[in-house]
Structure 1
Amino acid sequence: MQSNTLDASVYTDFQGLGQLKADAARQTESSLHQAAQQFEALFIQSMLKSMRSASPGDPLVNSDQVKLYQDMMDKQLSIEMAENGGIGIAAIIEQQLGGSQDSEQTDRSANTTFERSIAFATQLWQSSTSDAKAKPQAADSNGVTGVTQSRALWDSPESFVQSLLPAARRAAKALGTEPEAVIAVAALETGWGKHVIPGSNGLSSHNLFGIKSTDPESENRVSVTTLEFQQGALQKVQQPFRTYSSPGAAVADFANFINENPRYGEALKKADDPETFLQEIHKAGYATDPDYTGKVVAVMRQIQRMTQGSIAVADNSPQKTRI
């Protein structure tokens, strides 16, 4: 006796369409039901893929590995939905191809199931992608906060890292830490440079670290609406931020900001360990996101892999003889 349990390898993989054809050729009510249900699962999977394509996500978590696991999750979700009523497509297919179910009942059931399933799928999709979106890293009134969006200055995380690396090395030397830690703060704050605070002149403010301006008389400032964690929730607030002539100037100012602020004294004492340094600036109030340390350390490790790879490529490149 054939099991009624759907085989994920059949209806979530296009290679299984041959099996669908064989089932449909039997022209039995049970095979028609199974083929219709398998088709519905393929449709759901395609719908979820389109939903993800409509969301740009965030380069921080947009790796090939993440995409692989998201695809696996979408397949599993399509399985679960198809096995629990689906979105009504299978019932319609059965009715149109000769199933015994009453057409009016089919339409009514399909509409109800479709609305319920779409709401369920949307909720799961939004939940699964929420961490892939840029989240503001808010801080208290003395320092740094989440940023709003501006035009992207870099087209990839790699270009962001390579562009900032010289300035980050100088800043890291002044702080006594590693350049990857400095870049990690900027990368997390701006989503690898894609969400930089806009300047008052319509150009970029080059504020890569979300450092606020405390000088009301300064010309190098811009007021923007941003999001901050206040009392455990995100709130919209209007805040003044510093503006810079270049990204390198912003990196240099970050080092000055940390060095000149007594609250980061403990972080500077432990700066030789970059992970501890990042943890300590978080504890000192650099950002109020409770998950900030874990996020910024993860970004730093990713940057370390990038810079190590760049060094390896440079070391293995052929040497040219100058004439």
Structure 2
Amino acid sequence: MSAPSLPAQFIKAAVGPAQASEREYGVPTSVALAQAILESNWAQSELTREGNAYFGIKCGKDNGKYATGCLKKPTSECQPDGTCTKVIDSFRTYATATDSFRDHGLFLASNDRYAKAFLYSANPDQFSREIALAGYATDPGYADKLIALMTKFNLYQYNNPK
């Protein structure tokens, strides 16, 4: 997947990998697309351009079976009151965008803290709220931003691929 600059191009390029991840791991396609849009800034972030990373998953002891390395980049960490500070953190990188989408699905499906979200696989809005509550991002408005993207670009239409 190249780094498309227009929303329609981004969505068209990302739908396939997002739907494959939904079939494999159960993350609603609309949620994966909204997260990829938000986390990668429409594939324009340095992390995405340099490391095929669409989800901003941080490096740790176990970086999964899809990551090829780590890349340090500036990011914002926010407190519950909305106060944010800039920090440098290490993020997973990938050989391809498809690997980033697959790792995202595996990351959510294999972490117990996100288990409650999978009770709402048929309700992408609630799925988004649950991953936010479980700490996927520190932005207190994260779920609302995902839901707004899913609504604005009708990302729900891509759910439940055959």
**Length-normalised TM-score, structure 1:** 0.44
Q: What is the DSSP-based 3-state SS (H/G/I as helix, E as strand, rest coil) of the residue aligned with 2:136?
A: coil
The Cα of 1:178 is off from its aligned counterpart by 2.9
After superposition, the C-alpha distances for 1:258-305 in whole angstroms (9 at most, x for unaligned) are 011000010012112111111100010011211111111010122326
Task: Specify which of 163, 179, 188 is matched with residue 38 of structure 2.
Answer: 188
Partner of 1:162: 12
Distance 2:72 2:92 in 1: 9
One-letter code aligned to 1:213: C
User: Is 2:78–2:140's contact at 8 Å kept on the other side of the alignment?
Assistant: no
User: Is 1:266–1:280's contact at 8 Å kept on the other side of the alignment?
Assistant: yes
Task: Specify which of 42, 61, 67 is matched with residue 215 of structure 1.
Answer: 61
**How does 1:69-148 map onto structure 2 within 5 Å?**
none
Q: What is the DSSP-based 3-state SS (H/G/I as helix, E as strand, rest coil) of the residue aligned with 2:37?
A: helix
Task: Specify which of 138, 146, 161 is matched with residue 288 of structure 1.
Answer: 138
Structure in which a larger fraction of residues adopt strand: 2
The Cα of 1:227 is off from its aligned counterpart by 1.7
Distance 1:155 1:259 in 2: 30
Distance 1:160 1:297 in 2: 18
**How does 1:214-293 map onto structure 2 within 5 Å?**
214-215=60-61, 220-230=69-79, 232=81, 233-293=83-143
Question: Taking structure 1 as reference, are residues 305 and 278 closer, same or farther at Cα in structure 2, changes over 3 Å only?
Answer: closer
The count of aligned residue pairs is 153
Structure in which a larger fraction of residues adopt helix: 1
Q: CA RMSD in A?
A: 2.4
Gaps of 5+ in 2: none
Identity percentage of aligned residues: 28
**Length-normalised TM-score, structure 2:** 0.84
User: Is 1:196–1:208's contact at 8 Å kept on the other side of the alignment?
Assistant: no
- Name which one, 1 or 2, has greater alpha-carbon Rg: 1
Q: Which runs of 4+ in 1 moved over 6 A?
A: none
One-letter code aligned to 1:211: I
Gaps of 5+ in 1: 1-151, 309-323
Q: What is the DSSP-based 3-state SS (H/G/I as helix, E as strand, rest coil) of the residue aligned with 2:61?
A: coil
User: Is 1:220–1:243's contact at 8 Å kept on the other side of the alignment?
Assistant: yes
Distance 1:178 1:304 in 2: 13
Q: What is the DSSP-based 3-state SS (H/G/I as helix, E as strand, rest coil) of the residue aligned with 1:197?
A: helix
Distance 1:219 1:269 in 2: 31
Distance 1:172 1:196 in 2: 26
The Cα of 1:179 is off from its aligned counterpart by 1.2
One-letter code aligned to 1:229: C
Distance 1:283 1:214 in 2: 21
Distance 1:208 1:277 in 2: 19
